Amino acid sequence: MKKFLFLLATVLPIVAVAAEQPTADVAQTAPAATPAQDPAERNQMLYSLGFLLGDNLKTQLILDNETDYKALSQGMRDCLLNKKSQTDLEKYKPQIIQKYKDDARTIAEKRAAEQQEYMANFKKEKGVKTLDNGAMIKLSRPGKGSTPKADSTVKVHYTGTLIDGTPFDSSRERGEAFQTRLGDVIPCWTKAVQQMKIGARATVVCPPDTAYGNRPVGRIPANSALVFDIELLEIEK
């Protein structure tokens, strides 16, 4: 069971990325069989999969040196090739579970410190306004006219990133503006967008408790501070 949970924790984020791709219309006919893949292209695909698995793994575990990497990759290689384990797996399961717990705590503490530093530095920038729920907004374009209310429906373009610039969502990339009631979005948005006039563009920084809190959402880890580039296009009457 623990092995199953470990595999889920490692593979599900990769599956989630694939699941974000548009699905086929159910009315369409089944596609033709996929032609045989070129061996070199297959190797590139599998390397990419390995890279993504490694990228996900390093968000959960601290691996300190080349020796760590070699031992981990050898264990994975033996398992995937259906070889017998070189160790007593039952003996090491408690240590593995403890490492996951210890590393998760260390990674979370490091991220929290980095986020606090980022938000403290952003707060010092000229033109930044801190709202009553802790969210911060900095207008890069003032806009004109009225501002929305907490129950208004608005149309916006936005790009969302983590504090290190890693993107997790963008209406601009989708090529379609996002329409929503301000009461139906995260508290950070509800407060921040009310500070904007039509045509305004702003950087909005959301502390974790004004975003998704301790819930991981898609590519967003739990307890993440988020950064949004928001442009208010319309306020629906």
More confident residue, 13 or 164: 164
What mean pLDDT is predicted for residues 57-83? 90
Q: Which two tokens stand for residue 212?
A: 């998704």
Write down the pTM of the prediction. 0.73
Q: Which fold has domain 127-236?
A: Chitinase A; domain 3 (3.10.50)
Element (H, E) at 161: strand 153-162
- The pLDDT value given to residue 95: 96
- The pLDDT value given to residue 205: 98
Active-site hit among 96, 107, 186, 198: 186
The model's pLDDT over 197-230, given as tens digits with 9 standing for 90+, comes to 999 999 999 999 999 998 889 889 889 999 999 9
- The pLDDT value given to residue 33: 61
pLDDT at 6 over 50: no
Q: At what angle do helices 2-19 and 89-124 cross, to 10 degrees?
A: 40
pLDDT band at 34 (very low <50, low <70, confident <90, very high): low
- In the chain, where the domains are located: 2-14+42-117, 127-236
Q: Which two tokens stand for residue 30?
A: 């089944």
DSSP alpha helix (H) spans, the chain: 2-19, 39-57, 66-80, 89-124, 171-174, 187-193
Q: Which two tokens stand for residue 168?
A: 């997790």
- The pLDDT value given to residue 102: 95
Q: Which two tokens stand for residue 179?
A: 């329409």
Active-site hit among 137, 212, 230, 235: 212
Q: Are strands 226-236 and 201-206 parallel, antiparallel or unpaired?
A: antiparallel
Active-site hit among 14, 107, 122, 228: 228
**Catalytic residue flag (residue 68):** no
Tell me the pLDDT of the chain averaged across its residues: 86
**Catalytic residue flag (residue 212):** yes
The model's pLDDT over 133-144, given as tens digits with 9 standing for 90+, comes to 999 999 999 999
**Catalytic residue flag (residue 169):** yes
Max Cα-Cα span within the chain: 70
pLDDT band at 12 (very low <50, low <70, confident <90, very high): very low
The count of other CB atoms within 10 Å of the CB of residue 231 is: 21
More confident residue, 219 or 120: 120
pLDDT at 189 over 90: yes
**Catalytic residue flag (residue 168):** yes
What mean pLDDT is predicted for residues 181-209? 96
> Residue 103: how many CA atoms within 13 Å on its side-chain side?
14
What mean pLDDT is predicted for residues 22-51? 70
